[in-house]
Structure 1
């Protein structure tokens, strides 16, 4: 995040850019050519060691030259046409020089080293392109709009314009950013804000492109150009960050021109000076080519990207995804660690944390009836209640007459009784027969739900025939052993950890308290998180 900029890109159009496909095909081809060159080299070496005819291992080594050297040679010639001398051409000349003096093994080895380094860098480039493509996939490629006559038409999402009315059906991803003008639904915003629980949205509320509509049908007025949506800005930030190179790599690229020219001039001098002093051609050429082989920059080529890639692969095997070489290089200098919440500190899915049962009912009664009513629901809360009930070995009866109301909850008939599972204050409260006063009856369930939500959980009230029988509280589960990990990070960096999340402040503070984080910044969009990182860096440029 330290290298994230504010450049805006028209992300939706990038999806249709054939450059992505061409780059991917070129990367795959580069890896295949490198593998072929390595295979020919190993075959040639084997043939040479077992005493095969000279023509055989020379032919295999020459095949290594062709498969591993044609692309660097082409790039070098292109650079030469532009009056620059780069390391590609230098390596090829060194390899050809080695063959000219009979040291074809050394030349083939240079080719293999160089081709392998290029292939490894191509793999990293492909991974970066894949990560950007996965972000693009968050937003649908097409959208259904209503024309002036109210007729639906499907268009490219990139062609949406402010003022267009987009139709979003249940379960679809929202194709544009704007305000709801008709309908209501629970919107899964986890890809943008990190909230594990869908958020109820109705007329007048804003929605983000790439978020998932729940069970309601929506009509959304586009208020934001496709190139300015949150998803587009995220893609632009990732592209900018991924294109940033490690300082050592930038340094090596800077000196590459000077190094290549120095080697060429020195090689020419080593060849020319003895010739002027009367040396024979073959010894002078041998000395010059030997120098060029020794001075060839294979060690320089392998000094940056391959070690970084190896470190990134090792981190990946231990569950740490590193998005760029810059991040890998700067890890040792980190002074402040900032965490996201959902899916990072937490598992990313809600789970039942507590069940409060009222007079005459047990926890199992509340869970059984709630699970029966939620059996037909696709909402994460319903799924969590059903899974938790099954994990406790409860026998869940079959419900009928299932109804789901976005932003409210579900209703179903279980064993002849109407069971509802709803958010607090989502429906009128009935009076249980044993209540002593109306105030007591109406506030007990709401009070319990409010207490649970004040602790950062999401609460639903379970009712049978309109009578509240219990409250189920859910929360996004914190990963195990996280508190100890954060304490160790704070010890290593010498600074307190920070939580940056798009979730609501109550949920954020509840998680932060459990893992030992004091500095909490909640309700942030992705660009707000980037700005928060810049604030943490401060004027002194702290590593975050």
Structure 2
């Protein structure tokens, strides 16, 4: 069962609800997400408890709860039905916390006014204000104690306020109640601000769409009613209502809400589009490829919610620490109240007052919130920039890696071969050699063939028709063009089919040393070489800059590939990378294990053929472009397919870790200062309340600073610029254990 929970303002609220629900018979598992205020409860088979009992239990603790509508049922909107407008978020004075502030504020004002007019009645007026103001907190403290949380902040505050009344400090007790209510309201506002990131993601998808029928008629329908294969019209300025493929039209689309890329991307028929992207100029017809609950935005939101729900190692440690911290400080408060008067002849009212102030300092809210607030902000900041991290554990670990291992194809390179050279051999001009090569490959589905035909068309070279085409598997393609029997094949096949001169062989060897795949164009009838064509999967434009940025952060970069050493060296040398070549999947796993001696290891791959290595590394990072594999494989995904984003991810993790450490220092340091000043009698009850609220506010505001993260500290030079201090030949085999047996063909 899934519920929406309202009123959770800090991490300790999660613990209160989890403790209460765990005591209910039949509850098997509880997952409560502070950031999204969503609760998932799994019941044991045959459990008699229902949703109503769960809601009542949560409400008795002072929180709001409601059964969450089934997402699948919610998307079953009728055609043409207008979506219900979402209610505006309540103003602060309309919330439960707001009402709890307004009531004590009125009582405090009235009490001070009456005390000025009738001084003799001041004590009784303030006592009445305290009793009325503290009553909701006493009820909540009693419910929490019965539910298994006796050391709640409500218990501590109630005891302090009522204790202050007993020793005659009615005015200060009233100030405690009022300040505590204000502090709770400020926590609520700050927590709501931290949750705004998820709401802004959800609002990217428009609520309506223009659906086209078979005759081209237009009808406005809820976006949730769209089904796979529906056709929708997207006008200039509209947001795309669903993931899909363009059927008609061409335009530029602003995909920054999804990928973080600020420059609109040109799209035409056949290209995919993301829900939530903005159509900049042209009119598009789009075929829906994913239902609303499964579009890219929905999946990103789901993964971010899951990531925020998973607790980071530091958060788990702090929760364990806080469970002992609160009882320890309460025990100290009891000793402060009793030992000086009993053993040292101290004044009872003075030491009772100081002990009550210590009770307020015992609240662990700021400490418990220190890590999840920073993790939630870090995850949200990463998502804004196309850096999708799956949980606090991964976000913490990425900043501690010492080695980043890159796959080559599809990671450091684009994974798409490009024609780099077309060289005539003999009397034919270059454009004719290109035309004949493209004609031979025009009927092939091989990626090299597609690249060659595309290159010819981009160069304005006509592709001649080929007849009687055939292929020698893995060796050559054959066809007749303009009455000539031609072939395009590998250098090995060409050496058997014709005589390669020393000059031609030297040119082939030079191209292969550059890591290029070479094909030879032959006139089969005359056994004559007409030209050479070369391809290479080129490094991504930002690969060199991204590797340099990692090295500037003190992280070692290494390339592992199954390709041959010449190709590996041709890619690694300009990037300044160490490398190992001709590796089988099991060789990569062995090397990753060996590299752990240098620290934690991150593996960056394309999320498909690198799955074993991604799983074996301490952190797996997928280059994904928003694909299923990128979102579902590994611990993090780079939605923009940029090598430089690996360095940004490391910088984000380190910024988050630094923020966590700052928060812990704020939380413990501020309480430590007030603990000392309270024992010395310098500060009293109302300052203790300010210390608790102030620490929580500082922690929350400091965590929110991460939302402004833009890769600070990561200097990424323009693509293609040489890496400072590294000559182009700086690439070298990695100094790590070599596999005992290598696959000879890569």
Q: How does 1:78-117 map to 2 (within 5 A)?
A: 80=148, 90=152, 106-107=183-184, 110=187
2:38 alignment counterpart: 30
Report SS of the residue matched to 1:347.
Answer: coil
Report SS of the residue matched to 1:348.
Answer: coil
Shift of 1:373: 2.6
The reply on whether 1:514 has 2:586 as its aligned counterpart is: no
CA distance in 2, matches of 1:459, 1:404: 17
TM-score by length of 2: 0.38
2:487 alignment counterpart: 420
The reply on whether 1:524 has 2:583 as its aligned counterpart is: yes
Change (3 A) 1:479 1:94: farther
Q: Is the 1:422–1:461 Cα contact (8 Å) retained in structure 2?
A: yes
Report SS of the residue matched to 1:536.
Answer: helix
Report SS of the residue matched to 1:360.
Answer: coil
CA distance in 2, matches of 1:444, 1:48: 85
Shift of 1:522: 1.9
CA distance in 1, matches of 2:366, 2:387: 28
Change (3 A) 1:24 1:267: closer
Residue 470 of structure 1 is aligned with which of 531, 542, 556? Answer: 531
CA distance in 1, matches of 2:459, 2:500: 32
Q: Is the 1:350–1:477 Cα contact (8 Å) retained in structure 2?
A: yes
Residue 324 of structure 2 is aligned with which of 233, 258, 282? Answer: 258
Shift of 1:537: 3.8
- Report the more deviating stretch, 449-458 or 39-48: 39-48
Report SS of the residue matched to 2:461.
Answer: coil
Q: Is the 2:435–2:461 Cα contact (8 Å) retained in structure 1?
A: yes
Shift of 1:511: 0.6
CA distance in 2, matches of 1:28, 1:115: 10
Shift of 1:255: 0.9
Q: Is the 1:445–1:470 Cα contact (8 Å) retained in structure 2?
A: no
Report SS of the residue matched to 1:469.
Answer: strand
CA distance in 1, matches of 2:189, 2:328: 24
2:425 alignment counterpart: 358
For residues 442-482 of structure 1, the C-alpha deviation after alignment (integer angstroms, 9 at most, x for no partner) is: x7666643442233211222334454322211111113354
Structure number with greater Rg is: 2
The reply on whether 1:311 has 2:311 as its aligned counterpart is: no
1:370 alignment counterpart: 437
CA distance in 2, matches of 1:93, 1:365: 87
1:454 alignment counterpart: 513
Q: Is the 1:449–1:459 Cα contact (8 Å) retained in structure 2?
A: yes
Q: Is the 1:30–1:119 Cα contact (8 Å) retained in structure 2?
A: no
Change (3 A) 1:329 1:526: farther
Change (3 A) 1:40 1:315: closer
CA distance in 2, matches of 1:530, 1:292: 54
Pairwise CA RMSD = 5.7
The reply on whether 1:500 has 2:566 as its aligned counterpart is: no
Q: Is the 2:406–2:558 Cα contact (8 Å) retained in structure 1?
A: yes
Shift of 1:344: 3.1
1:349 alignment counterpart: 416
Change (3 A) 1:428 1:294: same
Residue 366 of structure 2 is aligned with which of 299, 303, 319? Answer: 299
CA distance in 2, matches of 1:521, 1:296: 54
Q: Is the 1:117–1:305 Cα contact (8 Å) retained in structure 2?
A: no
CA distance in 2, matches of 1:379, 1:26: 50
- Report the more deviating stretch, 334-343 or 103-112: 103-112
For residues 429-452 of structure 1, the C-alpha deviation after alignment (integer angstroms, 9 at most, x for no partner) is: 555xxxxxxx446x7666643442
Q: Is the 1:402–1:410 Cα contact (8 Å) retained in structure 2?
A: yes
The reply on whether 1:490 has 2:551 as its aligned counterpart is: yes
CA distance in 1, matches of 2:418, 2:517: 10
Q: Unaligned regions of 5+ residues in structure 2, if any?
A: 1-29, 41-63, 69-85, 105-139, 163-176, 199-306, 603-746
Residue 396 of structure 1 is aligned with which of 463, 468, 483? Answer: 463
